[in-house]
C-alpha cells in the first residue's frame, strides 16, 4: 500500500487486508491467555442449497461484530466456525441436484453423494464468510458430521440412556410420509390452506334419526371410534351416550358429551378418529378408545380403509366424498381455509401415525429450565418470551429417532434372539448399520448375534451440543472447566424453539448448568416489501455479487444501521448502496485529517472542547450499544457524529485555523490535535462494524500494527460543552441559508450578528463564514 489514502473505497483493498490479517494471525485464539475468555457459540450454518440467504450473511456479519467488540473490551475471544452437515435438507437437495432417490441408491453410496454435495456448498459458504471479514477460527473449522462431532453426540446419548432419560415407545406421532420420518413439534409449520368441509349424515342407532357431522378428513371415517358433542350444547343433550353408525363402515360408536367439541364449528358434533389431529390423540387416550391405523407410512390408506386401501390420502378423500354423495349422505360441502400443520421442509400435511421411536424426556425438565433460564441475559430482553412460551407449550417428550440416512447413527445393537438393546462404551463413533458390534454375547440370553440399529438421530441432537463441542466437553476437562458456560449464544429468532431450546435442555441434562451467559437473538431478513425471501417468490438476493460489488464494509455498515437488534430487517441492493455512502464520506474525512501532522498535545480552544465533548457523548452511546451487542446504536451514533456534526460543522469551523490563516501557531496545533483525536477515536469506535476501512486508515496514519489489536478508547473529555451543539448547528445553518438566498458563495463576506451564547466560538465562526465584524 502507498502512504496516501485512496479517494474511493475499492473492495479490492479489502482483499489485500484479508491476506494481511491471515499472514499476521491477528485473530488467533490463545487458550492459554491470561485474559478472561469469551467463547461464542457460533451457529454452524446449514448448507442446503444456493445461494446462501443474504439475511444469513447479514446475521454472520453481526456475529463477527460481537467477536470484535469482545476483543476490544479486552477478552480473549474464541470465535469458532462450524458447518452443520446433518439432516434432511441435504438429503433432499442431493436427491434433486444428483437426480437420485434415497430409496434406489445403496445407503453407502447415497451418503457419499451427500458428502460431495455438502463439500461444494460448504466451500462456497466458507469463502463468503471469509470475504465478509469474519474474524473466526477458519483453520480449525468443525463439521457436525465429523467423526469427532458424531462421537460426542453418541457419547451424550449413551450418557443420557444410562441415566434413564431415554425410552422407546410406540406412540401416535407427527409423521411426514414425503420425508419418510417422524417429525418433532418444532419442525412443524402451520399454513392456511383451502379445504373441503364435508357435512356427512350419520344414523343414530337408538332412534334412527340423522346426526350431521362436519369434517375435513372424510377418509378417516375408517378410523372413527367416537362422536363427541359439547355437554352444554342443547341441540344434542338427547343423544348423550347413544350410538352413531359410521357410514360406509357401519361401525357403531358412542356419542360422548365432551368439552373438546366446539359448538360453533360445523354442526357442533365431531367425529374422533385415529388420528386427525393432536386433540384426537388426547381423546383416544382419555376415553380409552382403540386406535385404528387407516394411513400408513407411505401416505396411503391401509386395509382398515376397506375399498380405499392403497389409495393416496387425497385420492381416498375424493373417492369417499363421491361415494357418500351417491349414497345421499352428503348434506353440503363448504370450501374453507383450514389451519393445516405441514412439514417445515417438504410442506406436506403432517399425519399422526403410531410409530416406534426413541424419546428423550423433556416434560419433566420444563419448570427447572424456565427457572434456570432466568440467569441468562437476553439481547433483546423481549425475545426471552419466545423461549418461555415454547417451553409452556410442550405436550410430549422429544422423539429423537429418524428414519433417514444422512445423520448421526443411533449407537445400539439388538440381540438377534431376545431383542435386548446393547449400547457400546462412549468415546468413538459407531455405525451399527454397517459395523460389527463391540460385544461378544447378549448380556441377557448369551446369544452371539446382533442386529445393528439403522435409524439416525434428529439433527438437533447434534447441533444442541455445540457449546459442549467447542468447550471440549469430555475431551479436555481443564479447558471445559474454564470455558463453560460460554459467553454468548448468537442466533436467529426462527430457531428459538429448536436450537436454543434443545441446547439448554441437553446441556442442562448433561452438565446441570445453562450453557451460556448471554443469548443474542436477531430478527429475520425480509425483502423490500417486508416479505419472506424464497426461491418460489423470486425475491432471493445472492449475497456474493453484492459483497463483491460494494465490498464487505459497506454491506456490514448497512446491516448494522438497518434495524435495532431483534427486529426484522428489509434487504435490497438500494438500501445497501445508500448506507454504503457513509463509507465514502468517512474516507474523505480521513483524507482531510491526514493532510495535517498530529501533535502530541495542544492548548485547546472552545471549538475544540466542544467537538471533543460531542465525541465523548458519541463514545458513551457507542459503549451502551456495544455492551448490549446492539450495533444499530454505535452505527447510527457514529454516522451522525462523523457526518452531521464533525464534518459539516467542526471541520468547517476549524478549517482556517488548521491552515494557519489568521491564527496563532498554538491555535493551529489545537485544530490539528483535535482533528486527529476525533478521527482516531471514531476509527476505534467503528472498528468492530467496518473492520477493513478502519484498519486501512489506522495503518496509514497511526500505527504499524492492526487496529484490531487495540482496546476501545477511554474517552475522558468533559461532555459539558455539548450544551452549545444545537445553537452552533442552528447558527451555521442560518448563515448558509442566508448566503444561499442572497446568491452569495460560502466564502463571500456577510454581515451577521453572532448570538451572545456563541461568543466563545466567535473567532472560528468569523473565519468560517467570513463574517464582517462591525
Contacts to Zn ion by CB under 5 A: 176, 178-179, 343, 345-346, 348, 415, 417-418, 420, 442, 444-445, 447
Pairing of strands 210-215, 188-204: antiparallel
Query: How far apart, in Å, do the first and last CA atoms of the chain sit?
Result: 51
Quick check: helix, strand or coil at residue 579?
A: helix
Least gap, CB of 91 to Zn ion (angstroms): 11
Contact in structure between 72 and 710 (CB atoms under 8 Å): yes
- Closer CB to Zn ion, 23 or 339, in the complex: 339
Which residues have C-beta within 8 Å of that of residue 212, sequence separation ≥ 6?
199, 200, 201, 202, 267, 269, 331
**Nearer to Zn ion among residue 439 and residue 479 (C-beta):** 439
CB of 277 to Zn ion, least distance (A): 17
Closer CB to Zn ion, 175 or 516, in the complex: 175
CB of 444 to Zn ion, least distance (A): 5
Q: ω before 217 within 30° of 0 (cis)? A: no
Q: Which of 480, 499, 378 is nearest to 37 (CA)?
A: 480
Beta carbons of 210 and 202 less than 8 angstroms apart: yes
Q: How far is the CB of 175 from Zn ion (least distance, A)?
A: 9
Min dist CB 187 to Zn ion, Å, is: 8
165 in Cβ contact with 332 (< 8 Å): no
Q: Identify the DSSP state of 711.
A: P
Cβ atoms of 457 and 182 within 8 Å: the answer is no
> Residue written as cell 473466526?
136
Closest to Zn ion by CB, 350 vs 461, is 350
Which phi and psi (to 5°) does residue 150 adopt? Answer: -65, -35
CA distance 506 to 156: 9
- CA-to-CA dists, residue 670 to 461, 609, 614, 667, angstroms: 62, 10, 16, 5
Q: At closest approach, how far in Å is the CB of 432 from Zn ion?
A: 16
Closest distance between Zn ion and the C-beta of residue 393, in Å? 21
Measured from the CB of residue 418, what is the shortest distance to Zn ion in angstroms?
3
Residue where the block lists cell 496545533:
669
Q: At residue 37, what are phi and psi to the nearest 5 degrees?
A: -80, 150
Q: Which is nearer to Zn ion, 189 or 476 (CB)?
A: 189
Cis peptide bond prior to 450, omega within 30° of 0 = no
Closer to Zn ion by Cβ: residue 327 or 418: 418
What would the grid cell of residue 727 be?
445553537
Q: Which is nearer to Zn ion, 58 or 442 (CB)?
A: 442
- Helix 384-393 crosses helix 366-373 at what angle (to 10 degrees)? 170
CA–CA distance, 732 with 562 (Å, rounded to integer): 30
Q: What is the closest distance, in whole angstroms, from the C-beta atom of residue 401 to Zn ion in the complex? A: 16
Please state the closest distance from residue 298 (CB atom) to Zn ion, in A.
13
CB of 182 to Zn ion, least distance (A): 11
What CA–CA distance (Å, rounded) separates 195 from 340?
Answer: 9
If the CB atoms of residues 444 and 537 are measured against Zn ion, the closer one turns out to be 444
Nearer to Zn ion, 422 or 763 (CB): 422
Hey, how many other C-beta atoms are within 10 angstroms of the C-beta on 419?
A: 11
Q: Which is closer to Zn ion, CB of 459 or CB of 618?
A: 459
- Give the residue with the Cβ less far from Zn ion, 26 or 451: 451
| Residue 480, H or E segment | helix 477-483
* CB nearer to Zn ion: pick between 176 and 468: 176
The minimum distance between CB 137 and Zn ion, in angstroms, equals 35
Shortest Cβ 403–Zn ion spacing (Å): 12
Cβ distance to Zn ion smaller for residue 165 or 176: 176
- Burial class from Cβ neighbours inside 10 Å (0-12, 13-18, 19+) for residue 219 reads buried
Q: Which is nearer to Zn ion, 188 or 771 (CB)?
A: 188
| For the chain, counts of helices (H) and of strands (E) | 23, 25
Nearer to Zn ion, 71 or 422 (CB): 422
Closer residue to Zn ion, CB minimum distance, 176 or 305:
176
Cβ burial of 664 (10 Å; 0-12, 13-18, 19+) is exposed
> Please, which residues have CB within 8 angstroms of residue 761's CB and are 6 or more apart in sequence?
606, 607, 610, 653, 724, 728
User: 170 with 100: CB under 8 angstroms?
Assistant: no
Sign of the alpha-carbon dihedral angle for 196, 197, 200, 204: positive
Q: Is the peptide bond before 530 cis (omega within 30 degrees of 0)?
A: no
DSSP string, 68-119: HHHHHTT-EEE-EEEE---SHHHHHHHHHHHT--TTTS-HHHHHHHHHHHHH
CB 338 within 8 A of CB 193: yes
In angstroms, give the least distance from the CB of 319 to Zn ion. 24
| Shortest CB 102 distance to Zn ion, Å | 13
Cβ 343 to Zn ion shortest distance, Å = 3
Cell readout for 434 is: 454397517
What are residue 312's DSSP bridge partners? 300
Amino acid at each position: 500500500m502507498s502512504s496516501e489514502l485512496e479517494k474511493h473505497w475499492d473492495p479490492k483493498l479489502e482483499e489485500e487486508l484479508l491476506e494481511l490479517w491471515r499472514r499476521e494471525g491477528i485473530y488467533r485464539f490463545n487458550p492459554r491467555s491470561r485474559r478472561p475468555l469469551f467463547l461464542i457459540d457460533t451457529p454452524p450454518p446449514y448448507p442446503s442449497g444456493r445461494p446462501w440467504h443474504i439475511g444469513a450473511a447479514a446475521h454472520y456479519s453481526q456475529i463477527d461484530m460481537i467477536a470484535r467488540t469482545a476483543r476490544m473490551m479486552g477478552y480473549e475471544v474464541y470465535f469458532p466456525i462450524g458447518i452443520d452437515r446433518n439432516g434432511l435438507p441435504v438429503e433432499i437437495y442431493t436427491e434433486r441436484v444428483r437426480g437420485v432417490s434415497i430409496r434406489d441408491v445403496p445407503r453407502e453410496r447415497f451418503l457419499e453423494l451427500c458428502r460431495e454435495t455438502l463439500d461444494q456448498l460448504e466451500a462456497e459458504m466458507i469463502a463468503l464468510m471469509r470475504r465478509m471479514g469474519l474474524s473466526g477460527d477458519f483453520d480449525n473449522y468443525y463439521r457436525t458430521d465429523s467423526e469427532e462431532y458424531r462421537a460426542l453426540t453418541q457419547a451424550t446419548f449413551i450418557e443420557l440412556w444410562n441415566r434413564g432419560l431415554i425410552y422407546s415407545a410406540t406412540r401416535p406421532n407427527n409423521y411426514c410420509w414425503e420425508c419418510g420420518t417422524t417429525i418433532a413439534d418444532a419442525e412443524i409449520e402451520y399454513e392456511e390452506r383451502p379445504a373441503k368441509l364435508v357435512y356427512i349424515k350419520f344414523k343414530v342407532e337408538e332412534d334412527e334419526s340423522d346426526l350431521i357431522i362436519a369434517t375435513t378428513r372424510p377418509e378417516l371415517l375408517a378410523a372413527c371410534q367416537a362422536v363427541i358433542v359439547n355437554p352444554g350444547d342443547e341441540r344434542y343433550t338427547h343423544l348423550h351416550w347413544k350410538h352413531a353408525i359410521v357410514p360406509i363402515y357401519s361401525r357403531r360408536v358412542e356419542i360422548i358429551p365432551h368439552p373438546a367439541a366446539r359448538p360453533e364449528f360445523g354442526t357442533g358434533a365431531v367425529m374422533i378418529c385415529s388420528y386427525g389431529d393432536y386433540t384426537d390423540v388426547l381423546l383416544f387416550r382419555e376415553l380409552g378408545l382403540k386406535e385404528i391405523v387407516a394411513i400408513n407410512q407411505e401416505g396411503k390408506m391401509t386395509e382398515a380403509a376397506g375399498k380405499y386401501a392403497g389409495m393416496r390420502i387425497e385420492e381416498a378423500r375424493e373417492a369417499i366424498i363421491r361415494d357418500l354423495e351417491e349414497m345421499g349422505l352428503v348434506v353440503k360441502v363448504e370450501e374453507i381455509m383450514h389451519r393445516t400443520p405441514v412439514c417445515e421442509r417438504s410442506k406436506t400435511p403432517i399425519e399422526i401415525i403410531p410409530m416406534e421411536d426413541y424419546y428423550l424426556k423433556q416434560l419433566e425438565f420444563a419448570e427447572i429450565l424456565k427457572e434456570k433460564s432466568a440467569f441468562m441475559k437476553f439481547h433483546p430482553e423481549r425475545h426471552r418470551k419466545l423461549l418461555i412460551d415454547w417451553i409452556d407449550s410442550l405436550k410430549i417428550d422429544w422423539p429423537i429417532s429418524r428414519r433417514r440416512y444422512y445423520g448421526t447413527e443411533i449407537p445400539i445393537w439388538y440381540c438377534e434372539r431376545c431383542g435386548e438393546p446393547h449400547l457400546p462404551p462412549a468415546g468413538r463413533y459407531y455405525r451399527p448399520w454397517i459395523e460389527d458390534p463391540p460385544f461378544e454375547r447378549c448380556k441377557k440370553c448369551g446369544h452371539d448375534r446382533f442386529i445393528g440399529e439403522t435409524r439416525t438421530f434428529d439433527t438437533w441432537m447434534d447441533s444442541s451440543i455445540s457449546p459442549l463441542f467447542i468447550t471440549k466437553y469430555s475431551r479436555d476437562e481443564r479447558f471445559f472447566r474454564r470455558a463453560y458456560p460460554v459467553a454468548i449464544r448468537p442466533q436467529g429468532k426462527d430457531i428459538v424453539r429448536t436450537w436454543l431450546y434443545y441446547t439448554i435442555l441437553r446441556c442442562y441434562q448433561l452438565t446441570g448448568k445453562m450453557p451460556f451467559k448471554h443469548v443474542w437473538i436477531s430478527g429475520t431478513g425480509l425483502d423490500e416489501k417486508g416479505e419472506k425471501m424464497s426461491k418460489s417468490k423470486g425475491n432471493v438476493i445472492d449475497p456474493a455479487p453484492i459483497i463483491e460489488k460494494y465490498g464487505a464494509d459497506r454491506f456490514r455498515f448497512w446491516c448494522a444501521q438497518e434495524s435495532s437488534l431483534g427486529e426484522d430487517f428489509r434487504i435490497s441492493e438500494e438500501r445497501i448502496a445508500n448506507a454504503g455512502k457513509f463509507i465514502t464520506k468517512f474516507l474523505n474525512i480521513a483524507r482531510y485529517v491526514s493532510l495535517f501532522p498530529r501533535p502530541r498535545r495542544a492548548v485547546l480552544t472552545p471549538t475544540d472542547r466542544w467537538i471533543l465533548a460531542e465525541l465523548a457523548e458519541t463514545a458513551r452511546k457507542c459503549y451502551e450499544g456495544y455492551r448490549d451487542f446492539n450495533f444499530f446504536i454505535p452505527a447510527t451514533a457514529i454516522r451522525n457524529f462523523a457526518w452531521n456534526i464533525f464534518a459539516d460543522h467542526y471541520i468547517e469551523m476549524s478549517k482556517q485555523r488548521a491552515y494557519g490563516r489568521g491564527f496563532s501557531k498554538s491555535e493551529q496545533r489545537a485544530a490539528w490535535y483535535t482533528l486527529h483525536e476525533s478521527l482516531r477515536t471514531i476509527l476505534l469506535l467503528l472498528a468492530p462494524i467496518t473492520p477493513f476501512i478502519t484498519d486501512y486508515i489506522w495503518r496509514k496514519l497511526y500505527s504499524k500494527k492492526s487496529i484490531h489489536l487495540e482496546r476501545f478508547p477511554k474517552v475522558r473529555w468533559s461532555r459539558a460543552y455539548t450544551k452549545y451543539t444545537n445553537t452552533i448547528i442552528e447558527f451555521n445553518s442560518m448563515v448558509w441559508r442566508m448566503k444561499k438566498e442572497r446568491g452569495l458563495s460560502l466564502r463571500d463576506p456577510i454581515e451577521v450578528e453572532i448570538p451572545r451564547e456563541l461568543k466563545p466560538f466567535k473567532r472560528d465562526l468569523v473565519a468560517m463564514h467570513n463574517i464582517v465584524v462591525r
